[in-house]
Chains A and B, each alone.
Chain A
Amino acid sequence: MSMLHASQAADAPISTGGTPPTASLMRWVAAATLPGIMTMTAFFGLGVLSNIVLAAAFAFVLESTVLYLRKRPILPALNDSSALVTGVLLGASLPPASPWWLIGVGMVAAVVIAKQLYGGLGQNPFNPAMVGYALLLVSFPAHMTLWAPPQPLVGESLWAQIMGSLPSEQIDALSGATPLDAFKQKADELSATRFWANDPLPAGTLEAWRMISLAWLAGGALLLARRIISWHIPAALLGSLALLAMLFHLADANQFASPTFHLLTGATLFGAFFIATDPVSAATSRRGKLLYGAGIGTLIIVIRNLGGYPDAVAFGVLLMNLCVPLIDLYTVPRPEGHARGAMR
């Protein structure tokens, strides 16, 4: 057995007895989101859980419906839990207590269009959850930037918000900016130190985001320890993001936030471990994964610092998904014993 096969076997998901490998892999991914989701719930209230439950329910219903229409076996596909993971990931990306129709539209885009119309699990060129997220961000910018300040939201208010029946003045009162959003909208002449000294965010917002990011990191560490993902994509993504953020920060510290700010706020760590590592839409070989991750990290910083959107994990991942066929073409691993360049 060549080195290539040995390394692939090490990367392959561990099969646990009767369950098919995909299902066990997807369940581990779902389990690894728990620390992040629980921390988010602790800071942002039950709206986080309602998002995820609704998104997962939509995922199951939509997946079964499309499989029925495509005359494919329904149970095996539902059993692999990939729809559940898509639902959980999209639900965790949306602002807490998003209205049901917003989640529904996002899940239709994710499961029906991005996944099943391309041929189902394994055939989708784009990360389904991020297709749903990007479509919602482009279509409903007002709802997608509605991050309430960290405060538990319970009872009737939560219900009204999910049903979409909350009057808009009340929604405005509830909404707050994410740290990335607030820093992006800072006046140019205001220096960064003065900006943070003014307490631009509701109390505890920055700390909440940092804790949530660290919780995602813990989940990612679990995935790494179980060898469900390899270190290449997250390391390349975070490394390129930190390096580029550092360069921007050194060039103009007032305009561009520090690398730690970029690493610990927004969806950076969530994206690095849970979104970019999607085995279907990411690059395949190790060198390819490094390139793919570095591309996403670069795009995130470029769009965050120079573009029109405060966060850019979804766009970075989707744009690099687009490059994956090219990356895979040029990073075919050299089989043991073959001369350099003999593969082309």
Chain B
Amino acid sequence: MSQWPTLARQGLWSNNPALVQLLGLCPLLAVSTTVVNSLGLALATLFVMIGSSTAVSLVRHQVPGAVRLPAFVMIIAAFVTCAELLMAAYAYALYQLLGIFIPLIVTNCAILGRADAFASRQPVGLAALDGLMVGLGFGIVLVILGGARELLGHGTLFSNMELLLGPIANGWQLTLAQDYQFLFFVLPPGAFFVAGMLIALKNVIDQRRTRHSARPAATIARTERRVRVTGVIK
């Protein structure tokens, strides 16, 4: 189980699906208008991610290579349906708010990417952990993006959290600016802008760290085909 720290670091930081692979941008940019929207979609994606990675790993010896992608999509779709029904049962208002973006989790290429690149060739435990870490990495970026856009666009934080968390979250809303609205950050261009800034921030932190550490960064074992869009290919 020596791969666990590596998997965690890759999923959360160095191969983060949202900041490095730039996968799953459609829900990332469309839904991240508020913290509650982001958190709802992040939890649903995390659930699907863990479930599908585990299931794909379980059936990996039975699925022939030629039909693996349709089979994986079917598995993912099954978990997305579960997530959708669960959300409709326990957080109906949020379910209505997120609308089409819950079924669209099926087409989130971060999930299919992990299923094909990692889960289909690794044992169950590792695949589940990878699903958890990549899902967390995606979810954390989604929530940060939602928070930044809610703050910059509406001047509030944690509004309507009761839609997801129930009555305990009543009154969680922090209003940092009264009568404030900056539509740019509410609309999709603002999502691109904030996501770009987050990627830039990550690259700056990476640069600082390589500059400060005298020894070269440890080489990461190449156990899977990695997809990178931003950052430096090591």
Contacts of A113 in B (CB 8 A): 193
- The stretch of A132-140, A206-214, A234-242, A260-268 in contact with B is A132-140
Q: Which residues of B sit under 8 angstroms from A105, Cβ to Cβ?
A: 182
Q: How far is A140 from B184 in the complex, measured between Cα atoms in Å?
A: 9
Fill in one digit per residue for A98-136: 1 if any B CB lies within 8 Å of its CB, else 0: 000000010000000100000000000000000000010
For the complex, what is the distance from the CA of A141 to the CA of B186, rounded to whole Å? 14
Min Cβ gap B208→A in Å is 15
Q: How many Å from the CB of B12 to the closest CB on chain A?
A: 27
Shortest CB–CB separation between residue B192 and chain A, in angstroms? Answer: 12
A283 to B193, CA, bound (A): 26
B189: Cβ under 8 A from any A Cβ: yes
The SS class assigned to the A binding surface is helix
Does any Cβ of A come within 8 Å of B26's Cβ? no
The 0/1 profile, CB within 8 Å of B marked 1, for residues 192-224 of chain A is 000000000000000000000000000000000
Instruction: Determine which of A138, A140, A141 lies in contact with B189 in the assembled complex, contact meaning CB atoms within 8 Å.
Output: A138
What A residues does B183 contact at CB under 8 A?
A: 138-141
Distance in Å: Cβ of A306 to nearest Cβ of chain B: 21
Interface residue ranges of B176-204 to A (CB < 8 Å): 182-184, 187, 189, 193
Residue of B nearest to A140 (CB): B183
Query: Chain B binding site: helix, strand, loop or mixed by DSSP?
Result: helix
Q: Which residues of B contact A135 (CB under 8 A)?
A: 184
Q: Given the complex, which residues of B lie within 8 Å of A139, measured CB to CB?
A: 182-184
For A138, the chain B residues whose CB sits under 8 A away are 183-184, 187, 189
Shortest A138–chain B CB gap in Å is: 6
Measured between C-beta atoms, what is the minimum distance from A226 to chain B in Å?
A: 37
CB neighbours of A140 from chain B (8 A):
182-183
The interface centre, meaning the residue of A105, A135, A139, A141 with most chain B CB atoms within 10 A of its CB, is A139
A residues less than 8 Å from B182 (CB atoms): 105, 139-140
| A135 vs B182: C-alpha distance when bound (angstroms) | 10
Which of A105, A113, A135, A141 is the most central at the interface, judged by chain B CB atoms within 10 Å of its CB? A135
Interface residues of B in 2-60 (CB under 8 A from A): none
Instruction: Collect the chain A residues with CB atoms within 8 Å of residue B184's CB.
Output: 135, 138-139
Who on chain B is nearest to A168 by CB?
A: B179
Could you say which residues of chain A place their CB within 8 Å of the CB of B193? 113
A333 to B70, CA, bound (A): 50
Query: What's the minimum C-beta distance from A112 to chain B, rounded to whole angstroms?
Result: 12
Q: In the docked arrangement, what's the CA distance between A8 and B189, Å?
A: 38
Chain A residue at smallest Cβ distance from B183: A139
B187 partner residues in chain A, CB cutoff 8 A: 138
Alpha-carbon separation in the docked complex, A113 to B184 (Å): 14
Nearest opposing residue in chain B for A136, CB measure: B184
Cα A113 to Cα B182 with chains together (Å): 17
List of A residues within 8 angstroms of B189 by Cβ: 138
Within residues 61 to 110 of chain B, which ones have a CB less than 8 A from any CB in chain A? none
Q: Complex: how many Å from CA A140 to CA B193?
A: 18
Q: How far is the CA of A140 from the CA of B183 in the complex (A)?
A: 7
A138 to B184, CA, bound (A): 6
CA A233 to CA B187, docked complex, whole Å: 32
Chain A: which residue is nearest B153 at the CB level? A139
Interface residues of A in 119-176 (CB under 8 A from B): 135, 138-141
C-alpha spacing A94/B189, complex, angstroms: 21
Interface hits, A53-68 → B, CB 8 Å: none
B232 to chain A, nearest CB (A): 20
Minimum C-beta distance from B186 to chain A (A): 9
Of the candidates B182, B183, B187, the one having the most CB atoms from chain A within 10 angstroms of its own CB is B183
Q: Could you tell me the distance in whole angstroms from the C-beta of A288 to the nearest C-beta in chain B?
A: 27
Docked Cα-Cα span, A113 to B193, in Å, equals: 10
CB distance from B198 to the nearest CB of A (A): 14
Given the complex of chains A and B, what is the CA–CA distance between A105 and B183 in angstroms?
A: 12
Closest to A113 in B: B193
Residue of B nearest to A105 (CB): B182
Min distance, Cβ B80 to any Cβ of chain A, angstroms: 33
Question: A263 to B24, alpha carbons, bound, how many Å?
Answer: 45
B194 → chain A closest CB, angstroms: 12
Chain A nearest CB from B31 CB (Å) reads 20
* Least CB distance, B185 to chain A, in whole angstroms: 8
Interface residues of B in 132-188 (CB under 8 A from A): 182-184, 187
Q: Name the CB-closest residue of A to B189.
A: A138
Report the bound CA distance from A105 to B185 in whole Å.
13
Q: Which residues of A (75-95) have their CB < 8 Å from a CB of B?
A: none
Q: How far is the CB of B179 from chain A (nearest CB, A)?
A: 10
List chain B residues, Cβ under 8 A from A141.
Answer: 183
Question: Could you list 9 further interchain pairs (A-B, Cβ under 8 angstroms) beyond the known A135-B184, A139-B183, A140-B183?
Answer: A105-B182, A113-B193, A138-B183, A138-B184, A138-B187, A138-B189, A139-B184, A140-B182, A141-B183
Q: 8 tightest CB-CB pairs across the interface, nearest first?
A: A139-B184, A139-B183, A139-B182, A135-B184, A138-B184, A138-B183, A138-B187, A140-B183
13 contacts between A and B (CB under 8 A): A105-B182, A113-B193, A135-B184, A138-B183, A138-B184, A138-B187, A138-B189, A139-B182, A139-B183, A139-B184, A140-B182, A140-B183, A141-B183
